A and B are shown apart, each in its own frame.
Chain A
Amino acid sequence: MTDLASLTIHALHELLKNKKASAVEATQAVLQRIEAFDQHIGSYITVCPEIALAQAGAADKVIAAGNIQTLTGIPLGPKDIYLTKGIQTTCASAILKGYVPPYDATVIAKCLEQDCVLVGKTNMDEFAMGSSTETSHYKKTHNPWDLERIPGGSSGGSAAAVAADLCIASLGTDTGGSIRQPASHCGIVGLKPTYGRVSRYGTIAFASSLDQMGPMTKDVRDCALLMNVMAGFDKRDSTSINRPVPDYTKVLGQSVKGLRIGVPKEFFGKGIATDVHDTVKTALKKLEELGAILVEVALPNTEYAVATYYILAPAEASSNLARYDGVRFGLRGPGKSIQEMYENTKGTGFGSEVKRRIMLGTYVLSSGYYDAYYLKAQKARTIILRDFQKAFENVDIIAGPVAPTTAFRLGEKTDDPLQMYLSDILTISTNLAALPGMSLPCGFGEGGMPIGLQLIGQAFDEETLLRTAHAFEQATLWHKAKPKF
């Protein structure tokens, strides 16, 4: 019998619908794999078998009553940044150890309304600050394709769990590439939707003008299916956009004939490893064979994106993370006065990367520095956005690599924060411009490490990304490859 844990959402859904498998069996299969393999991968911070099996039992009753929906009985492993009622939510930080939220994030509630199963919460960089999942307080996550390498970050636990069949699909978050870069490094599909397309309510905030929630899946169809559930207006998120949600699966199977794909030369310049460069170029040729038209475009200010981001994101983070003061939830440090308590709570509760970003953010916002840093970065954000607007006058989507190299080795960049930040150079500008971006498997580089193809769309045009990704996927089948560990 097929290992149920290895299935996609749509394949498992067919088995559940036709009573060829039960949600309890699927959940047991996933839990057994976690038990057997997660000691090597380290993709979960929390596993909750009792809750998962109870949810699966309830899902089986729903299915027996003939009320199956897309996610009914599907075991999911969301990133530990989503609030989950009754299940510990840590954001990979010591400061939230043992925190059990009293409510669900909107997207989790939407999945639970369809009677999905939550098997646990996946590992990540602390407060999503990192590109390798190494800043987690709890554990290191290993890339299933090479256990000596990082899975990417910050949604590294999610990417590793999907790649290693330790869940059917996951939900990640992306502030500067945190869905796309780990998806690329682990050989799975990840989509960062347009800012405002998916509710941020109940998802722990890092940089509120950049954070966006999205699916991390085994194929493009699953990505479209999860988007159908996740997307939509939420009155509880003041930046959620009120516009209709299409059925994202409608475009799957449509041709890319005549589609104009912009190829920015800046995405293939200095610092891009040869294996990544060549593999992505081959992928673009494949899209050309499928009928798409490749057009050279310019994004001349790409080189300024990382600098812009590392002013804006820490500034927003320093404000967002002020709430972890020991008063209402999480860790409380000792102190005779309230100020001493605040200071000791943060001093002992946050890890070094989080402290670094709070310090950077506080510095750039402090009196006398606002114009020199924050205002300048907001202006730079405008010119990065204008680059995209100009490029999209002539093309439908933009394509290039996701990351300059394949997954690097554990520990390789932990002592050099600037080098770590530069690994986000190809993903950050999409967040600054609020555009949708996607990573999908497009081949393997040196040492058999996966390489992702990045597709960037116009605002609210996730459909063209999914259509293109699906056409490419069906013509290449790179997504079928599984790691051996």
Chain B
Amino acid sequence: MISRDNIKKVAGLSRMTLCEAELDKLSGQMTAILDFVATLDKLELKDVPPTSHAVLVNNIFREDEPCLSGLIDDAIKAATEHEGHFFRVPKVIE
């Protein structure tokens, strides 16, 4: 069983507030889901390599040349608060 306190801790790591009812509900639901995914314990996986991408992909490199996106004015408008070409957020450094 994943305790309510544990759920609270994970919510903190996720930077996400959860109300009391959500904490209760998630405690039961996550326990059920994690019990279910524990079926993987039945597999013999000791010598099996992990797969992160099933198709072989190599990172793509390009010359590091600066270019203009032309999107700054439009992109900045999507922020709730902005000033010039900057996003405004609550004070970070005291």
Contacts and interface: CB of A to CB of B under 8 A. Distances in A.
Asked whether A and B interact, the reply is yes
Interface of A: 99-103, 194-196, 209, 235, 238-239, 241, 301, 303-304, 306-308, 310-311, 318, 322, 325-332, 335-344, 346-348, 350, 352, 355-356, 358-360, 362-363, 366, 373, 375-383, 385, 417-418, 421, 432-435, 459
A307 B81 CA distance: 41
Nearest to B7: A359
B74 A102 contact: yes
B54 A304 contact: no
Contacts of A346: 14-17
B22 interface: yes
Given A239-B57, A331-B80, A383-B45, 4 more contacts: A100-B78, A328-B75, A339-B15, A360-B30
A307 B55 contact: no
B39 A343 contact: no
Given A355-B22, A356-B26, A378-B51, A335 B43 contact: no
Contacts of B25: 352
A315 to B, nearest CB: 11
A341 B79 contact: no
B1 interface: no
Contacts of B60: 235, 238
Interface of B: 2, 7, 10-11, 13-19, 22, 25-26, 29-30, 32-34, 36-41, 43, 45, 48-55, 57, 59-60, 62, 71, 74-75, 77-81, 87, 89-92
15 contacts: A195-B54, A239-B53, A307-B36, A310-B33, A325-B15, A326-B80, A331-B80, A338-B91, A346-B15, A346-B16, A355-B16, A376-B45, A379-B48, A382-B50, A417-B32
A264 to B, nearest CB: 18
A241 B57 contact: yes
A336 B40 contact: no
B14 A318 contact: yes
A307 B39 contact: yes
A341 B17 CA distance: 10
Contact of A360 (B18, B33, B41, B55): B33
Contact of A310 (B37, B75, B79): B37
Contact of A332 (B15, B17, B62, B80): B80
B75 A362 contact: no
Given A102-B74, A235-B60, A359-B11, A195 B55 contact: yes
Contacts of A327: 79, 87, 89
A192 B15 CA distance: 33
Nearest to A101: B78
Query: Which 4 pairs between the two chains have the least Cβ-Cβ distance?
Result: A347-B17, A378-B50, A102-B74, A434-B54
B43 A103 contact: no
Nearest to A385: B54
B54 A433 contact: yes
Given A238-B59, A344-B17, A350-B16, A377 B40 contact: yes
Contacts of B14: 318, 346, 358-359, 362
Contacts of A195: 53-55
A339 B91 CA distance: 10
B10 A341 contact: no
Nearest to A307: B37
Contact of A347 (B16, B54, B87): B16
Nearest to A459: B55
A373 B25 CA distance: 22
A196 B29 contact: no
Contacts of B49: 379, 382
B33 A434 contact: no
A102 B15 contact: no
Contacts of B48: 379, 382-383
A305 to B, nearest CB: 11
B6 to A, nearest CB: 8
A381 B50 contact: yes
Contact of B40 (A337, A344, A376): A376
B10 A381 contact: no
Contacts of A418: 29, 32-33, 36
Given A307-B37, A311-B37, A337-B90, A355 B51 contact: no
